[in-house]
């Protein structure tokens, strides 16, 4: 399988974290990538970590967000609380071997009990001023946040079944609870 370098940045271009995922496919929704429990990532400050469970990530071609589905609850990190996580970002820059995007702080998630959760609105407000988000970028982030909140509540794209083939293939490829 093809390796895909993934770089999440903070405004304007400061490294947030970098990892390598497995390219699962490309379709009209965007680029689909998988990561395994234990796969390493490096934060912008050089600290390293490992993903606590298997996940599938969508980097859409026509939207300013990225979405991640987790295989099962974990004992730490986001998958301890959430089964789905959506980062409001700049539109992903995609090529054959790399994905790069800027995380704009606002997040939405679904808990393992299917509750929609809004996250990091205060962080966005603070960073908007501290990092000088341009007004058009801030407006786009807020509009996308509102749009995706409605989509999650209605279980519209990306929760409309579009991800199901990728989730089934990646999560059934091996027992998600086993070590990498």
pLDDT, position 176 = 41
Cβ-contact 124, 104 below 8 angstroms: yes
The length of the chain, given as a count of residues: 180
Q: Using one digit for the tens of pLDDT, what is the confidence trace for 14-33? A: 999 999 999 999 999 999 99
Taking the C-alpha atoms of residue 126 and residue 121, their distance in angstroms, rounded to an integer, is 9
Superfamily assignment of 3-155 in CATH? FomD-like (2.40.380.10)
Along the chain (180 residues), what's the average pLDDT of each consecutive run of 10 residues? 96 97 97 97 96 97 97 93 98 94 98 97 97 98 98 98 97 56
pLDDT, position 1 = 80
Burial pattern 105-127, b for ≥16 Cβ within 10 A else e, equals bbbbbbeeeeebeebbeeebeeb
Strands (E), 28-97: 30-35, 40-43, 48-50, 55-60, 65-70, 82-89, 93-94
Taking the C-alpha atoms of residue 116 and residue 18, their distance in angstroms, rounded to an integer, is 27
What ranges in the chain are assigned the alpha helix state H? 121-130, 135-154, 164-172
**Boundaries of every domain in the chain:** 3-155
Q: How many CB atoms lie within 10 A of CB 146?
A: 11
């Amino acid at each position: 399988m093809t390796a895909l370098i993934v770089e999440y940045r903070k405004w304007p271009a400061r490294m947030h974290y970098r990892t390598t995922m497995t390219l699962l496919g490309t379709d009209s929704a965007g680029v689909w990538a998988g990561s395994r429990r234990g796969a390493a990532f490096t934060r912008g400050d050089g600290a390293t970590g490992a993903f606590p469970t298997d996940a599938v990530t969508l980097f859409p071609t026509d939207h300013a967000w990225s979405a991640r589905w987790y295989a099962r609850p974990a004992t730490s990190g986001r998958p301890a609380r959430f089964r789905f996580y959506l980062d409001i970002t700049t539109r992903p820059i995609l090529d054959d071997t790399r994905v790069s995007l800027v995380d704009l702080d606002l997040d939405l998630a679904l808990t393992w009990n299917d509750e929609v959760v809004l996250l990091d609105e205060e962080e966005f407000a603070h960073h908007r001023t501290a990092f000088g988000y341009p007004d058009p970028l801030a407006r786009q982030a807020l509009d996308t946040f509102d749009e995706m909140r409605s989509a999650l509540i209605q279980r519209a794209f990306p929760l409309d079944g579009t991800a199901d083939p990728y989730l089934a293939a990646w999560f059934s490829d091996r027992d998600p609870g086993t070590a990498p």
